[in-house]
């Protein structure tokens, strides 16, 4: 049986300090650092990744393998507001994408892609939310 993988790039990453990361860590196994060919935006309290049809931008994050029998994906769907009970249109949609681990291994993983308007979003150069967040907290 193949394990499901989840790629996280924002508030669910280790070091982001969000309590939902504890749920992720309890129901999955950290596989390693990885990246996805997409564009990352700062949406205020959290980031959002979108597809990059040209494949020129990278979103950096972490890859997790869901432990057998754990309802992690349904819990993340609720967290991201994209269950069948959530009002539509959803802000995030779960999709399967190709991610590349730091060692070059390619994996299929679930990701929550941003599906909302980008009119007020700010592009995050370099595609790393934690680096952007740490720069924002640095004294000037």
d(CA 112, CA 117): 15
> pLDDT tens digits for 1-54?
578 999 999 999 999 999 999 999 999 999 999 999 999 999 999 999 999 988
Please state the domain extents for the chain: 5-137
> pLDDT tens digits for 75-127?
999 999 999 999 999 999 999 999 999 999 999 999 999 999 999 999 999 99
5-137: CATH number: 3.10.490.10
pTM of the model: 0.92
Strands 106-114 and 92-101: antiparallel
Mutual angle of helices 20-27 and 72-80, in 10-degree steps: 160
């Amino acid at each position: 049986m193949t394990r499901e993988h989840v790629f996280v790039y924002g508030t669910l990453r280790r070091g982001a300090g969000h309590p939902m990361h504890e749920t992720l860590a309890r129901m999955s196994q950290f596989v390693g650092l990885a990246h996805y060919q997409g564009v990352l935006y700062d949406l205020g309290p959290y980031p959002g990744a979108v597809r990059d049809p040209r494949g020129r931008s990278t979103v950096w994050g972490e890859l997790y393998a869901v432990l057998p029998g754990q309802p992690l994906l349904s819990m993340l769907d609720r967290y991201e507001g994209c269950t069948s009970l959530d009002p539509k249109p959803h802000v995030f949609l779960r999709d399967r994408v190709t991610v590349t681990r730091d060692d070059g291994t390619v994996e299929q993983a679930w990701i929550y892609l941003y599906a909302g308007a980008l009119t007020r979003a700010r592009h995050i150069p370099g595609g790393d939310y934690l680096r952007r967040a740490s720069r924002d907290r640095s004294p000037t």
